Amino acid sequence: MDLPDLSAVAQQELLKSGEISATELLAACAERAALVEPVVNALPMERWEQATQQANAVAVDGPLGGLVTAFKDLADTKDLPTTYGSLVFADHQPVADHPAVALVRQAGVQVVGKTNTPEFGAGSHTFNPVYGLTRNPWDPTRSAGGSSGGAAAAVACGVLSIADGSDLGGSLRNPPSFCGVVGLRPTSGRVPGGDPKYVMATQGSIGRTVADVALHDAVLSGQDDRPLTEMPLRVAYSPDLGGLPVAPEVHRIIKKAAETIEQLGWSVDQQEPDFSKVDRCFETLRAAFYAQKFFALAEDERVKATVRAEVNLGLGLPAECIEQALATEQNLREDWDVFFSKYDLLIAPTSQVPAFPVGQEWVREINGTSLDHYTNWMRSSSRVTVSGCPSISLPAGFTSEGLPVGVQIVAPRGTDRQLLSWAGLIEEAFGVPIRRLSKRLQPRTHLGCRRVPWGKEKAVTGGCNLKSFGHRLPGLLTNLCQDNPAKRAKRKVILWLMP
């Protein structure tokens, strides 16, 4: 198996034993990036040459020593521009690292750039007017999710050993589900650098295996144990998290996951917490959070409409409405504490749908149920966010079209390391191996591709004409396999049509 296809834990073992050097791992990841990035565009800001110059000085004995990573473009980096995916900040250079970035750097990683994100992290589909569109490694006509879509896609492809992400309504869970990797949303407030008032937003970890995520999480949290409590576990199973519409193939895969978990000898009951007050609480606090951070951009035409609408909604909220939502959030957390006095874990769909066509900005219908807001299709994740509980998305299976689907596993607040231990056992029971995506992508990038005229791409975009989608993103989508304008300037291909 090629170095980029190994888990981060396996790469680290080779580094520490001296079987490979940090320079060799970096070169292998750079070669993989050259293969897949023209298609996926997960790492739009690259610094391979600078990392190579520094590789000989990397100390491989650190907690993440020698592993290859990049930071999400929402996290401030003192030596790399941070655009937040917005033209407003296209030339922004922070003067200090985000606290989570600083922790990962200190652990000895090799930093090779920034991973792509939607503008200001809004929406679980990664596209923006600075770096363009990130595509799903399993099917480049599909979304990689968001807002950590670049991180999940880069890890899935083997471009990165491991990656950070952030999560408000599902951004550490939806992209891993879409891309077939593992993502952990920690207990709210556990990782440094969060907002003291609006605690739903958090940094977290993405890796190819649970052990990889545990390695990264130990650096972010300062906790490296993975305790196991008495077995067997008591597991609650919710097929739809309070009656949400769920795509049939997702339902099938999550039901099968519940049956597999039951075969571990654990008790599995179809039960769930009360979700009746969750959506309004989440939507109020999300809008208030966006208004606090981006109030100056409420009327800025350079910012996409969904962000401006979110900010203006937050600006219009009365103070008493926000305080009531904060009180409801605390009450809901206490309700979940009671629920978890009866169960050790809750399992449910990570996302209500598999990865959707890239031409859709967001999912507007599931099983005949119309959705009228860009976050409504993500409620299977956002309903868990409000609880403050740690949750992990674990690959559980594939649709008939070969798209990955993740199961969401939730544990009581503060039991993050136990959750990782339990998730490791479930991962072993599922038996979903690391996939060699390079073999899947290679024919699409180098073999049998043909150029076609701009505007003739409906066959590979689920029926969507990218020109019509691109009017909201001027000049971004002129190359199906390479949507990053900065990289596109280096290539002569206008559009590739994949067989």
Count how many residues are written for the chain.
499
- Angle (CA) 341-345-346 rounded to 5° is 105
> For residues 39 and 2, what is the distance between their CA atoms, to the nearest angstrom?
20
Burial zone of 242 (CB within 10 Å; 0-12 exposed, 13-18 middle, 19+ buried): middle
Rg of the chain taking only CA atoms, in angstroms: 21
d(CA 12, CA 107) in angstroms, rounded, equals 12
* CB atoms closer than 10 angstroms to residue 150: 35
**276 a catalytic residue:** no
- The secondary structure of 385-420, three-state, reads HCCCCCEEEEEEEECCCCCEEEEEEECCCCCHHHHH
Catalytic choice (148, 161, 171, 380): 171
Q: Which two tokens stand for residue 207?
A: 């890796």
Query: Is 72 assigned a catalytic role?
Result: yes
Token reading at 367: 């099983």
Known active-site residue 421: no
Could you tell me the two tokens for 454? 């701009």
Strand partners, 464: none
Question: With 0-12 CB in 10 A as exposed, 13-18 as middle and 19+ as buried, what is 430?
Answer: middle
Among 253, 217, 228, 240, which residue's Cα sits nearest to residue 103?
Answer: 217
Backbone angles phi, psi at 389, to 5 degrees: -80, 155
Q: How many CB atoms lie under 10 A from the CB of residue 405?
A: 28
Q: Are 394 and 427 in contact (CB under 8 A)?
A: yes
CB-based burial, 411-423: b 16+ in 10 Å, e otherwise: bbbebbbbbbbbb
Which residue in the list 72, 148, 238, 380 is annotated as catalytic? Answer: 72
Strand partners, 365: 370
Strand pairing partners for 203? 166
Catalytic residue of the set 7, 86, 124, 147? 147
Active site members: 72, 147, 171
